[in-house]
């Protein structure tokens, strides 16, 4: 068994002939994400970031964290277990604003099937992605799926609102790297940068729980 998390990640990178930077970008993460793991700076990544990396490396999250028998064999799941027949999830349009922000208009342009994670979340919604700041995680034309009732969590993707979301609201979609009582610590991928914004100015934080690809 490969003993440490860096060892396991390096083993899979070598087997797949991937670089740390390439695997990070393929997973839709910051360029330094995998490199920080290899250097021992990120000893126990969690949440969606770990799931993305595991998917790119073809292993389970549990194997990355704890080792074991090695890579998992993908299980083919029926669509019904992932998406419901309830075509009632509203998708809201967005238009580019200033400084990488977007303006969402809460007049649906479409209704799509609800993913199971939003099956009983009646105020869940989708956002039609514009702009390139979160490529490759989110590309223009894709739909971000939003769960507004989940609390903020580190290493997740979020929609932050400058004003309460009604009628029309300025917002941005970023990766939430951390937060405290005063600020949100955010990251985007194109151009790559990390930055802070004041929670008083961006008080509403909704969790992104998935996406639908462009149709």
93 in the same domain as 61: no
202 in the same domain as 129: yes
Q: What is the pLDDT of residues 34-82, one digit of tens each?
A: 888 888 877 667 667 888 888 888 887 777 877 765 444 444 445 555 6
- Residue that is written with structure tokens 């990488």 in the block: 100
What are the angstrom distances between the C-alpha of 185 and each of 22, 31, 35, 137? 24, 17, 20, 18
Other residues' Cβ atoms within 10 Å of the Cβ of residue 39: 11
98 in the same domain as 30: no
* Domain containing residue 37: CATH number: 1.10.260.40
24 in the same domain as 114: no
Provide the domain count of the chain.
Answer: 2
In sign, the C-alpha dihedral spanning 68, 72, 78, 82 is positive
Q: Give a yes or no: residue 74 inside a domain.
A: no
116 in the same domain as 207: yes
53 backbone dihedrals φ, ψ, rounded to 5°? -65, -45
pLDDT for the residue 85: 82
199 in the same domain as 111: yes
Among 11-15, 111-115, 125-129, name the one with the lowest average pLDDT.
Answer: 11-15
Q: What is the pLDDT of residues 175-212, one digit of tens each?
A: 998 999 999 999 998 888 999 999 999 999 999 988 89
For residue 73, say if its preceding peptide bond is cis, omega within 30 degrees of 0.
Answer: no
Domain, as residue range, for 149: 80-212
pLDDT band at residue 110 using 50, 70 and 90 as cut-offs = very high
Which has the closest alpha carbon to 127: 109, 145, 100, 102?
Answer: 145
Q: Give a yes or no: residue 170 inside a domain.
A: yes
């Amino acid at each position: 068994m490969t003993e440490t998390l860096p060892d396991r990640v390096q083993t899979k990178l070598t087997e797949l002939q991937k670089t740390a930077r390439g695997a990070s970008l393929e997973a839709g993460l910051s360029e330094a994400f995998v490199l920080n793991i290899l250097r021992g700076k990120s000893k126990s990544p969690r949440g969606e970031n770990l799931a993305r990396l595991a998917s790119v490396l073809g292993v389970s999250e549990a194997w990355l964290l704890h080792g074991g028998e090695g890579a998992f064999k993908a299980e083919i799941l029926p669509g019904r277990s992932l998406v419901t027949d309830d075509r009632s999830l509203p998708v809201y349009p967005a238009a580019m604003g200033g400084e990488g922000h977007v303006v969402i208009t809460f007049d649906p342009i479409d209704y799509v099937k609800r993913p199971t994670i939003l099956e009983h979340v009646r105020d869940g919604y989708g956002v039609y992605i514009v702009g390139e700041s979160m490529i490759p995680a989110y590309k223009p034309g894709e739909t971000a799926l939003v769960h507004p009732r989940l609390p903020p969590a580190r290493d997740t993707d979020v929609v932050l609102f400058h004003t309460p979301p009604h009628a029309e609201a300025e917002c941005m979609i970023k990766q939430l790297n951390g937060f405290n009582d005063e600020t949100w610590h955010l990251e985007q991928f194109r151009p790559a940068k990390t930055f802070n914004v004041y929670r008083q100015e961006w008080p509403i934080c909704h969790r992104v729980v998935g996406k639908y690809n462009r149709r």
